[in-house]
Amino acid sequence: MSRLKKENLTRADGSVIQMGQAPLGVRIKKYIPFYFMFLPVLIFAIVFYYIPMFGISLSFTEYKGVKDPVFNGLENFRKMFSMPGFWAAFKNTLFLSTVKLLMNTFMAVALSLLLNEISNLHFKKITQTVVYLPHFMSWVVTASVFGMILAPSQVGLVNNLLTQMGVLQQGSEIYFLGDQKWWTPIYFIINIWKDTGWGTIIYMATLTSIAPELYEAASIDGATRWQQLRFVTMPALYNTIITVLILNLAKVMNLFESVFVLQNNAVIRQSDVLQTYIYTQTFNSGALPNYGYTTAVGLVKSLVGCALVLICNYASKKVRGRGIV
């Protein structure tokens, strides 16, 4: 009741106005400190997300950074859709991002459930800290570490172990990061190692919010641990899982750093994604880059990402009655 009074205003005649019904100017004045707190985020979003959107017009021009842009209509898009390299990068982007998203989500949920079963609080905190740490390593450092572990010689830990176990003969070591057959599974393993621990934070927060009375009631009714997991824990996690999946879909087409630091010319067919394709066309094409063409690729990438989010949000509304947008 006291909180409700704080959120209300009093007229001169003594009548009470609810804050939600107060004039806009009054509400803004009341929440000025919160607006100042939000201001840095707003400025960052405007400078790095909204102002660059004016550059979309370049996708309809030929612009090589030397002369003024020349309008060429849809020529960049016709060129893009006729380029095998674009379609290969597009398919790789969808495949790598989608599989990585599903695998990381599954592993994060599984790890959260395992951590939730640990009764020793001290050991639980240590375990959480250990699995979180890889997230704070940059992708450059991560690539360097795994480059040494997977090195195609006896210096590499994995090849050394396989040789000692008799699986490989010395001199026939596998170049995991340079082998077309091995690069993709190794990429997924590295991503799971790096991101799974951080992903558990959200799910652990959801698990701790489940009322203990639900488990007590299920136990009294004779439910086993597996049945408690199935009928109490997982229903509580479903909404969080779906929300996280939809939010992460917005980043599906933005795959770059994790691929860029692990790829090389030997596995370019498996590792070239739209962001690295744009990078190559801009900086490593061997000629003056056509910024209009790369802008067109970026525009298509953004539109596809937006469409994926809207489609999944619509499916969420149909399945569970609500989405997040």
Whole-angstrom distance, CA of residue 107 vs CA of residue 196? 6
Contact 165, 73 (CB under 8 A): no
CA atoms within 13 A on the CB side of 215: 13
Sequence-distant (6+) residues with CB within 8 A of 269 are 88, 180
Characterise 171 by phi-psi region: left (phi > 0), alpha (psi -120 to 50), beta (else): left
In sequence order, what DSSP letters do the residues of 305-323 get, joined into one string? Answer: HHHHHHHHHHHHHHHHS--
pLDDT average, residue stretch 15-30: 68
Strand ranges (DSSP E) for the chain? 8-10, 16-18, 61-62, 70-71
* Model pLDDT, residue 27: 79
Pick from 273, 274, 269, 265: which is nearest to 293 by CA? 274
Contact 231, 237 (CB under 8 A): no
Whole-angstrom distance, CA of residue 316 vs CA of residue 323? 5
Domain ranges of the chain: 79-320
Contact 260, 279 (CB under 8 A): yes
* Model pLDDT, residue 256: 92
Whole-angstrom distance, CA of residue 298 vs CA of residue 59? 9
Contact 305, 69 (CB under 8 A): no
Sequence-distant (6+) residues with CB within 8 A of 229 are 113
Element (H, E) at 124: helix 121-132
Contact 206, 237 (CB under 8 A): yes
Residue 3 has pLDDT above 50, yes or no: no
pTM metric for this prediction: 0.82
Q: What is the CATH number of domain 79-320?
A: 1.10.3720.10
Residue 318 has pLDDT above 90, yes or no: no
Q: Which pair of tokens denotes residue 173?
A: 């070591």
Average pLDDT, rounded, for the chain: 86
* Model pLDDT, residue 10: 52
* Tokens 């640990």, located at residue: 118
Residue 57 has pLDDT above 70, yes or no: yes
Contact 301, 97 (CB under 8 A): no
pLDDT average, residue stretch 237-258: 86
Whole-angstrom distance, CA of residue 245 vs CA of residue 240? 8
Residue 178 has pLDDT above 80, yes or no: yes
